Structures are given as C-alpha cells and as structure tokens.
Amino acid sequence: MTEAEAIQLVRAHFETLFPKTCATCGRTFATLREYVLATTPAGSALSWDAEEKNWQTLSPMGSQAMANCACGSTLALTTEGMDLPVRLSLLQWLQTETTRRGVGASDVLESMRQVIRREVIG
C-alpha cells in the first residue's frame, strides 16, 4: 500500500462519519470539510495498536485523531466501523512506515492528518 492509498482510505472513511454533532454545544458539522475548517487539532493522532506494539492483531483497537470544537469540547474521528481487512492493511502500512521513516506511529499518523486536512480545505 502506498501513502496516497492509505490517505485515500482514511479520508474516505472519515467522510462517512458526517454529519457529526458536538455533544457539548450541539454544533453540527455537516461534512468533513466543515469539521476541518471549524475545529483545531488536539494532541497527536494515534493508533492504540501501535502504542501497544501489537502489529499482528486480528482484532485492531483502531486509531483516532482528536480536534477541539470552538466551544472547547474535544471530538474524535476514529477508524471504528472501518472494514476489518482495511484496518489490518492500514496497520501493516503504518508499521512499515514507522520503520522506513525511523519515527513513531503518531508521527506518521500526524503527517497523514495534515495531508488530509490540506486536501479537504483545498
């Protein structure tokens, strides 16, 4: 899997998570683009499986990227609901990329988040 393919898979999944509503203030984000424009990334994107060094799991816990709503509440986009074979392929890609780049999984995922945000805005 290439980086472009991984980004396309994650972005396509994230697009399906909308509309999304902030539980605190009730603001509804109709699309991923609206969400990206109106929120601020919070913390680093992470993979629970990578954090546990559980690269060969058959039951991935998944990944998440958090962002703050204008009201201050934190919202998350996750891989929950993504088809299992896709999640497993992405986890293997992530492991390969961490080794190839010599960085942690959150660094790779954070780079991916920045690319997706730029694409969505552009």
3-state SS of the chain? CCHHHHHHHHHHHHHCCCCEECCCCCCEECCHHHHHHHCEEEEEEEEHHHHCCCCCCCCCCCEEEEEECCCCCEEEEECCCCCHHHHHHHHHHHHHHHHHHCCCHHHHHHHHHHHHHHHHHC
Range of the domain at 82: 3-121
pTM: predicted TM-score of the whole model, two decimal places: 0.91
Residues in CB range of 50: below 8 A, 6 or more apart: 91, 94, 95, 98, 104, 105, 106
- Say how many domains are in the chain: 1
Q: What does the pLDDT look like over 22-70, one tens digit per residue?
A: 999 999 999 999 999 999 999 999 999 998 888 888 888 999 999 999 9
Is the per-residue pLDDT at 12 higher than 90? yes
How confident is the model at residue 56, as a pLDDT?
87
Instruction: Supply the Cα-derived Rg of the chain in whole angstroms.
Output: 14
- Dig out the tokens for 89 from the structure: 């392929």
In whole angstroms, give the CA distance from residue 1 to residue 79: 17
